[in-house]
Each structure stands twice: as structure tokens, then as C-alpha cells.
Structure 1
Amino acid sequence: MVRYLAACIFVLFGFAEAQASQITIATWNLGWHMDLETAQQWIGGCSKNYVEDPATGKFKPSQEAGFKPGWDIDVFKIEGWDVSRYPVCSVYFAGGAVRVSLEAYRKRQEQIASFISRAIPADIIAFQEVSGEQSVREVLPNGGLDYDFCPVTGYKVQRLVIVWKKTLGEKVSCAIEDALSLPTNPDDKRPRPGLALTLKIDGKLLRVMDVHLKSSCVSPFDGGNLEGTARDCTILQQQVNPLESWIERAAADGAKIVLLGDFNRNFWHELRDQRPARTDASGTSTPRPAGVLSRSLIEEVADGQPAAANLKILDEHCQISDAGQALCTQAEIRDLTTPETQLLSSDTYLGCRNPVGLDHILVGPGIDSNGPAEHLSIGSYGGNRAGNPNGKDQVLAISDHCPMIAQLNF
């Protein structure tokens, strides 16, 4: 009888383990990434010559004396520049804005495709700062034929796209989370929306939210006070409530949830900030009173209530040398010095200009990780070189961010 019970327990536990779903998920901000057709049009616009109208301060295309190339102009001052389609001209910088050639841009795309193919073996990849679905297709293995797509359409040029392997599961929904874009704000104070994908994997719902929150309010240790009056921190403060609202709604039907992307906020510094998470010192698990501001985005959205939406941030590790990992650990404790950041961003370490502190992966109840989330080094792919006037030796960084990847069980 004891043997029979032991056998039953073994079978039951074995069945439970067999039912666990395993996925690898990644997030990567590709830094103003465009499809080739859009890039060609962008290069054409930035290569034109412009002259300033002294009456309006705007620049117009011209061959007159005193012209300036678009590469050297703030595109928001160029009359008729479509900011919903094209980035600024100074995306790539090497002692000045790089005059990008199409050949160099094509080479950049090839390098991204090669990196994804050999270094990001993910079932789901959440991209930020891409022009749209086509721009992602062009850098995925086999032209993206093995993937399905959930893209943001419309909005500004820095869009979101989530891709997943077709064999992974069935798409239930793909939804743009407009509330995160603060639609009641004036256009110049509207950040990017979120993007939510729901998949059914092995009969279970997995809901993934890709975000790219307001920039330039990174850490309470470097003056980025979320509760402060600085323009960017004020906008990020406004995104706290819609983000927390999505988390609670997303988990209400029993779905497992993952929140990831470029938060533009160092959560590790927030967690080490000794001040109360709210300006009135109230607990974050209760509704925030009117007029009370948050100091800590992570403590506000991962407050444990309701229990089904109790997010946790995955530990982070850097896939580099022991010395580099020690520097990554220090970056979670304090604000790195400029030389330290430059070292961590160098070719022999992580290689990207924004190496740590902005990108995170959070998971809800019922999801476990096989180890920490890994910051992947892009090495020499993170640098720019202006090259000769013919552009033959021009080099463009594949991104100013490094990818982050994690293995999850649910």
C-alpha cells in the first residue's frame, strides 16, 4: 500500500512538472530603429540643405547661401518634418551627427539580425523604439517567417512591437494600452503607449506588457526625483496610475503576467532609497490619496495588492567578466561615476551606451525564473564611426541599449 501511494505521488508530481510551461523572453530597445525604406527616406530628408527663415525661426529646403544640412539641425525646427514617421537626424553621434549612408544602415541591420540569431534564443521578444512591424521583420531570422507580430501602429516614431514564435501558442489579443500615453495631455507632453499581448500556451493564459516609459527621470540618486517638478518626472509620475491599473486588470482573469521593457527608471535605486515611497508616508498597498505623489514607481505598481497582481522584479546579471559583474552590482547600489559608466559601456564589457538601470523584467504570481535576467553584451556593435565622406567605412551602433533575456516557468 505504501509503495502504491508513493507511486501515485510520484506520478502526480511528475504530471505537474510535465504540465509546466517554459519560455524564454527578451526585451530590447533598438534605438530609433527603422525599416530600410523608411531609413532611405530619412537619410534623404536629413541630407537636404536648409535655410532658416529669420521671421519664423523655421528651416526650409533651399540651395541658397548660408544653408545647413539637416544632419546639423533640430528637426523640430524644420518646416514640414513629419515626426510621426522620421527620427531626429542626430541619432548616430561620433564627434557630431553621423551623415548616415544607406549602405551603413543596411550593414547595421545585418549586424542586428546576426546578433539576434546567435545570441537571443527567445520565444518572445519585446522591442522598443522601432518604426513598426516591417522594421522588426527585416532583422529577425528568416525574415520573420517563423514569428507572429503584435505592433503599435500610429503614435510617434518610437513604437513598440512584440514578436513570438508561431509554435509557442495561440494569440488571444494584441492591444495598444493608450492610457499610458496620457491622452488628455497636450501633444508635447504625451509619452508612448503600452502594448499588451495575450497568448494561450498549453491551455494557460500569458499576458505580456511591453513598455517604454518617459525618459530623463532615471534615479533618485542622480536628481531624478519622481515627485519633483521637473517636466519629465512630472510626466512619468502621471504614468504610475495607468500602469498599476493595467497590472491589476491584466491579472484579474487568472492570466500569468509579465511586465517588461525600457522603464527609463532605475528600480534598484528606488528600492534602496530610504525615504517613504509616498510623499505622505502612506502605504503603497492602499489607494493613493489625492495630491499625494509617488517617490518609487516599483513600490507603487508592485505593492502586493491584489495578490494576483503581486509583481516581483527579476534579479539582473551581466554576461561579462567578474570585474564587469561587480560593476553591474555596484550600479544597483549607487549612481556610477562617469568613468565607471564609460568602462561598463566599453567594447570589452557590455558595449551599449545605456548598459544597466533602465530595462527590467517583472513577473506575477505563478511565474518562476531559471536564474536572473541577463544583460547581454553587444561588444563592439555599440559604437559609431563617421567614416570617410563616401561612407564606405562608416559604422552605426546596433543600439544604445543591451538586450535583456530571462527563462521563465509557469
Structure 2
Amino acid sequence: MLRFAVALSWMLACGFSAQAKDVTIASWNLGWHMDLATANQWIDLCSKRYVKDATADVWREGSGPDSKPGWFVDAFKIDGWDTTRFPVCGVYRDRDNKIVFVKPAGYQERHKSLARYVASSVPADIIAFQEVNGEDSIREILPDHGNQYDFCAVVGYKVQRIVIAWKKSVGTKISCAVEDPVSLPGNPESERPRPGLALSLDIDGTTVRILSVHLKSRCVSPFENGRLASPGDHCPILQQQVEPLEAWIERETADDAKVVLMGDFNRNFWHELRDLSPVRTDGGSPASPHIPASLTNSLIEDLIDGAPATSVMRLLDEHCETNEVGSLLCDVSESRPLDREERALLSAPGYLGCGNPVGLDHILVGRGVKNSQGAKHLSIGDLGSSIAGTKPDGSDQKLAISDHCPIVAQISY
């Protein structure tokens, strides 16, 4: 049986004025997205040849029979690789899972395709982008080079950053801050995930607070990867992110401000809600303090535990912009993991088109935020696949605009 007591608390708590303001919000992980200048430098580095130094477990630039192009090397093990600027090299793969050797002309065409898609298909006033290298990379893909937008961006940290862009006509910035506790600063560098990004806007005299996140990956579902309390390399790190996220929610909702939490959670909340295991490993209340003996099995139910009452948030229903079969698969994916064939079909160009179509990206809204139609996963069609091309200059390359699909919702308050 589903545990929807939180949703009931939400409905009882909501009240809305007759003069509600409508705002369209979106969240989209753009998959190692870079500005063009940085991308060209990255392509140059990935095109060099490297030799492994086995004694130091690093790769160094070199030649000879044992050397490899950077495209086939773990770039984060290349000596001197700047992880604050450049992603790994094997980002783009064709339908046979072969690495595409990116060329500058190919990346430029990807930018153009992405810009056209944003302008034509993402009708949002506020967009939270994850896995981008900075504000410039987002300006380059927005209409009129982003001149009609303002920005809040993560600066520093590793290359996978968050940028929130909003139309200047929508509201004015009150504050923009990196939510560092979400990055677990007390952990060793190798076990630190990405920080959150918190934006407060004044929209027609109303304070709207947004937190965008990109949480630890590879602990997606209690039905596949294990529960958050499971041992391993990934779930324990996501487990640690629950407490700072809950602290932000409770702090920012205390004065009844309008609050939105959205992003790439790397966690299937619908599976958590259908998992019959206790929310806490000791069977205790999710509202109790976080202690080693009381770990969480369910991120969503621990975050939204109903205490205090002002912190109640609602996970928006999710629908898919696709055909009847695709919509059915989206519904099925909320109750169980899709098998390989089902996932491949939902990721196909005639359906959603992205490699990670559902189960990772979510939108939650707090008290006083109205939404009647849920959230929609938009199709990117054939823009989610990559083709290496045959021309030496890469002008016939096709690079996926993302392995995620945008998720969009209309809210009012």
C-alpha cells in the first residue's frame, strides 16, 4: 500500500488566492554541457595520445605503441587534468555504444540544435539546468544569447554544476547561494557529491525559493540498486545527503514562503513510495533525529515527514509527452523497473528520445504553491542520439543534446 499521508497533509494545508500568478518551471540535466570555447579545448585534450604510468596509476601525454587517444582513457586519471573545467572524454556514444570522437564543428552543431530545441519546446519562465560548466554555457543556448534572462550559478567545485536561468520579466533576485552542505564538505574529496543551488526571487511581491539539486548517482531504486541504507560505494553517500536537504527544506519553509525543490535526484521516488520497507531502518519515525542506528530507506519519505507542518511538500505527478504506448510505459515505470527492451523503447526517437527518460528527475512544491496538471517529461525525439559522421571536419556529426529529457510544470501561488 502506498504511503500518501504526506499528500493528504498537503491538501489540507493548501489555500490559494483568486489572483494567483502562473509561472512555468523546468529542470533539465544537460549531460556534461560546455560553452563552445571550453568544448574546443576539451576536444583538443581528448584528441591527444596518452601513455599509462602504472606505478602512479596515471596517464601522461606521450606516443608509441602503448599510447591511446584520450577518448579511450579515464580522463580524470590523466596527469594534470582540470576537473573543474573539463568532463571525461567518452561522453558521446553512438547506437552501438561506440565512443564518438567529437570535432569542433560537431559540437557547434549540437549547440545549435540545443538552442533551437530550448526556444521551440521548453516553454519555461524559470529553468534549472544540471551538469553544465557555467553561466556562459547556458547563455549560448538561450534565445538572444540569454539577454532576457538573469542567472544564478554554481561557481567552483567540479565540472558538473547547476545554473538557474529565469526571465527578467518574471521576477527579481533576492539571493543566490550555493548550498554547500549538500556536497558533504566533511567527506574526502573522492566521496563528495555536488552542492545544491538556492535561488530566492521576488515575484510580484511574493518570495519564491527554489533549490535545484543533482544528487549522488547509482543508487536509483530500492528495487534495483538497493536501499539507501545498503552498503556500497554510492548509496551511503546519497544517504548522507538526506540530512542537509531536510535542513534546507525546514529552514526555508519556516516562514511559509513559496518553495520549489527540483532537479536530478538520481533516485526513483515512485519506487520508494511503493517499497513496503520501513522508512527508517530501526522502524522509528522519519521525523526523529538522524543517528547511525536510524538510517533511511526512503529519501522522499524521510525528507517530507510532515514535521514541522510548514515543511510539507508535494511530489508532482509525472506524465510523458509521447504516444499511447510510451505513456503506458511511463506509468508502468512508477511501479517497477522497466526491463531493457522497455527502457530502450521509451528512449527511442519516436518516444521520449533520451537515455534516462524517467525515474531520476522530479519536482516538489511546498505549501501555498498550486499545481493541478502535474509535471511533464518532454520528448527530445531524435536529438537524444549521437552519430559519429564520416567527414574529417565533423560537420556531419550529430551529438545528443542530453541523456535526460526536460521536466516541466506550471505552478501558481
Question: What TM-score results when the alignment is normalised by the length of structure 1?
Answer: 0.94
SS of 2:334's partner is helix
In 2: Cα distance, 1:286 partner to 1:56 partner: 46
SS of 2:23's partner is strand
- Aligned pair 1:136/2:138, yes or no? yes
Q: Which moved more, 1:300-309 or 1:122-131?
A: 300-309
Residue 318 of structure 1 deviates from its aligned partner by: 0.3
Residue 39 of structure 1 deviates from its aligned partner by: 0.2
Match of 1:384 in 2: 386
Paired residues in the alignment total: 395
Question: What are structure 1's unaligned runs of at least 5 residues?
Answer: 1-14
**Structure 1 residue corresponding to 2:353, chosen from 343, 351, 354:** 351
Residue 290 of structure 1 deviates from its aligned partner by: 4.2
Residue 385 of structure 1 deviates from its aligned partner by: 1.0
SS of 1:300's partner is helix
SS of 1:368's partner is coil
Match of 1:398 in 2: 401
In 2: Cα distance, 1:251 partner to 1:76 partner: 39
- Letter matched to residue 159 of structure 1: R
After superposition, what is the alpha-carbon deviation per residue over 1:230-260, rounded to whole angstroms, capped at 9, x for unaligned? Answer: 1100000000000000000111222110000
Residue 53 of structure 1 deviates from its aligned partner by: 2.6
Report 1:1-400 matches (<5 A).
16-18=17-19, 20-94=20-94, 95-388=97-390, 390=392, 391-400=394-403
- Letter matched to residue 37 of structure 1: A
Conservation of the 8 A alpha-carbon contact between 1:198 and 1:205: yes
In 1: Cα distance, 2:24 partner to 2:240 partner: 32
Task: Tell me the C-alpha RMSD between the 2 structures.
Answer: 1.2
In 2: Cα distance, 1:217 partner to 1:389 partner: 40
Conservation of the 8 A alpha-carbon contact between 1:180 and 1:242: yes
Conservation of the 8 A alpha-carbon contact between 1:370 and 1:409: no
Residue 393 of structure 1 deviates from its aligned partner by: 2.1
Conservation of the 8 A alpha-carbon contact between 2:51 and 2:66: yes
RCO (CA 8 Å, sep 6+): is it higher in 1 or 2?
2
In structure 2, the CA distance between the partners of 1:62 and 1:404, relative to structure 1 (3 Å rule), is same
Residue 289 of structure 1 deviates from its aligned partner by: 4.2
Residue 406 of structure 1 deviates from its aligned partner by: 0.2
Match of 1:5 in 2: none
Q: Which moved more, 1:307-316 or 1:387-396?
A: 387-396
In structure 2, the CA distance between the partners of 1:235 and 1:16, relative to structure 1 (3 Å rule), is closer
Question: What are structure 2's unaligned runs of at least 5 residues?
Answer: 1-15
In 1: Cα distance, 2:119 partner to 2:54 partner: 50
After superposition, what is the alpha-carbon deviation per residue over 1:305-359, rounded to whole angstroms, capped at 9, x for unaligned? Answer: 1111101100000011111111100000001100000000000100000000000
Question: What TM-score results when the alignment is normalised by the length of structure 2?
Answer: 0.94
In 1: Cα distance, 2:114 partner to 2:171 partner: 26
Conservation of the 8 A alpha-carbon contact between 2:258 and 2:367: yes
Percent same amino acid at aligned positions?
Answer: 55
In 1: Cα distance, 2:80 partner to 2:325 partner: 49
In 1: Cα distance, 2:130 partner to 2:325 partner: 29
In 1: Cα distance, 2:252 partner to 2:335 partner: 31
